[in-house]
Amino acid sequence: MVAESDNRGGKLMVTAIVLLNAARGRVNEIASVLAEMEGVSEVYSVGGHYDLVVVIRVHANEELADLVTEHMQSLEGIEATETLIAFRAYSRHDLESMFSIGL
């Protein structure tokens, strides 16, 4: 799991990346719905084997499981998902934001 501050009291977060296939012609609609879901941090349309990449940040694995299995996979037009749970962040941006004091 990737533990990071959420800027609301320093609580730790679980980060996951969901790779998603959408029905033809539904990518924009599904991306908009996903972007409004609690726990969804970012949604990207991409080229390649998947249509969308969804970045999720929640407080616990149970929240992640509920979001993916109960909410995301139940959306009409989502054909398949693959969930990757992040263990550790290495990007400079993520590491700097974890320890930033706002200077």
Q: Is 33 helix (H, G, I), strand (E, B) or coil?
A: helix
pLDDT computed for residue 89 by the predictor? 80
List, for residues 51-67, the tens digit of each pLDDT value.
999 999 999 999 999 99
List, for residues 6-50, the tens digit of each pLDDT value.
444 556 789 999 999 999 999 999 999 999 999 999 999 999 999
What gap in Å lies between CA 40 and CA 17, rounded to an integer? 10
Fold entry, domain 14-98: Alpha-Beta Plaits (3.30.70)
Domains of the chain, residue spans = 14-98
